[in-house]
Structure 1
Amino acid sequence: MTVRPATSDDLDAIMAIEHRSFPTDAWSSETMAVELASPHGCYLVDEHEGSIIGYGGVRALVGASDADIQTIAFDAEHRGAGRGRALLRALLDAAVERGAREVFLEVRADNPSAEGLYRSEGFEEIARRPRYYQPDDVDAIVMKLVLPHPRSVDPRITDADVAKEASE
C-alpha cells in the first residue's frame, strides 16, 4: 500500500474514481482542483501497482481546533481490504499534525460500510441532515471524533492545560 500526498497531476485519476463512486453527486473537476491546491487541506492518494485506486482529503487549517474529512473514495474492487481505514488514519494524523482536536464528517445514511468504518475508529453520530444528498434524497449522518491531544504541535499546551480541560 502506497499512500502519498495528492498533486494536481492526480486530478484526472481522482475525478475518475469520484464519478464512479458518487455518480449522482460527484464534485466538479474545478472544485476538486481547488481542494488539491488549497493550503488548508491535505489530500492523499492510495496507489496500487502504479495506479491511483483511492483518495481522501481533510480540511484542517493550521492551528484550528477542528477539521473536516471532506471525502474518501476507492474503486470498488479495492474496498473492504483495510485500505480505507489506513487512508482515514493518515488523514486523521494530518489533522493532528495541524493542531486539530476534533474531526467532523458527513456520511450517507445509505452507506453502512462507511458508517461502520467511522464508528469503529471512534466517530460518534451527533446529528442528521435530512435529504442532504441530492438528487437522491439521502440523509447525511454527521459524526465527530475527539482526537488525541496535539501537544507536539503546540508546545505552549501543558499537562496542566490538559488536566483542566479534562475536568471541565
Structure 2
Amino acid sequence: MAAADVDHVTAMDAALFGIDCWPRQLFMNELAAPDTRRYIVAEVAAAPGGGSAGPARVVGYAGLMCVPPIGDIQTVGVLPEFEGRGIARAMMVELIEEARRRGARDVMLEVSSTNPRAQDLYRRFGFEHIHTRRRYYRDGSDGLVMRLSLARRDRGNSDTASADTKEPS
C-alpha cells in the first residue's frame, strides 16, 4: 500500500466496517512505520475482461504489525462484489509469510463474532480461537482473538505447511 491508496482504502474501510472503521490518519500512521508494519492492496484490472482501459482498481487491503516473536494481522478487507475469488486468502498468505520473514513465531488477529465468513477463512489457515473480548467492537459485537502458531505449523508437517502458504494460481 502506498500513500496514494489511503483515501480509497479509507473509503473502503468505512463501507466495510461502518462505525468500527479506521480514520485516514491511522492508515497514514501505519504506513509511516515500515520497520514494524506491512500493508498491501489487492488490485484488479479496471476494464471488464482484464483489458488495459485504465488504472487498476483497489478491491482489497490488509495490514500486519510485527514485533517478534508476535505478528498481528491488523485488518483485512475485500469489497463484497469481489468476495469468493481468493483475494483475502492471497493477502493472508502474503502477511503470514511476511510475519515469518520478520521472525514471528505466532500470528494473532481479532475478528468480529458476527463475521463467520472471515472466521472460517482464518480457521482454514490454522488459526485457533483463544479468547473472546466481550463487546469489543463499537457495534457491540464480541472480538474473537485467534492465534496461528508458526513454530507448530513448521514443526508439524513442513510439506503441508509450505503447500498451504503458496499463492493461488
TM-score range, shorter chain: 0.7 to 0.9
Structure-1 separation of matches of 2:12 and 2:62: 11
CA contact (8 A) 1:8 1:37 kept: no
Quote the residue 2:6 is aligned against. Answer: 11
Aligned match of 2:143 in 115, 140, 144? 140
1:59 has 2:65 as partner:
yes
Structure-1 separation of matches of 2:124 and 2:27: 28
Quote the residue 1:82 is aligned against. Answer: 86
Runs of 4+ in 1 over 3 A off after TM superposition: none
Structure-1 separation of matches of 2:11 and 2:30: 16
CA contact (8 A) 1:96 1:148 kept: no
Please report how far the alpha carbon of residue 77 of structure 1 lies from its aligned counterpart in structure 2 after TM superposition: 0.4
CA contact (8 A) 1:131 1:140 kept: yes
Question: Which runs of structure 2 are paired with 1:93-112 in the superposition (5 Å)?
Answer: 93-112=97-116
Indicate the structure with greater strand content: 1
Please report how far the alpha carbon of residue 148 of structure 1 lies from its aligned counterpart in structure 2 after TM superposition: 4.7
Residue type of the alignment partner of 1:15: T
Please report how far the alpha carbon of residue 93 of structure 1 lies from its aligned counterpart in structure 2 after TM superposition: 0.7
1:72 has 2:76 as partner:
yes
Quote the residue 1:47 is aligned against. Answer: 43
Residue type of the alignment partner of 1:102: D
Structure 1 length normalisation: TM-score?
0.82
**Structure 2 regions of 5+ residues with no counterpart?**
46-55, 155-169
Quote the residue 1:116 is aligned against. Answer: 120
Residue type of the alignment partner of 1:123: F
Please report how far the alpha carbon of residue 65 of structure 1 lies from its aligned counterpart in structure 2 after TM superposition: 0.6
Residue type of the alignment partner of 1:92: I
SS at structure 1 position matched to 2:40: strand
SS at structure 2 position matched to 1:131: coil
CA contact (8 A) 1:107 1:115 kept: yes
Q: Answer with 12-21 or 120-129: which moved more.
A: 12-21
RMSD: 1.3
Indicate the structure with greater helix content: 2
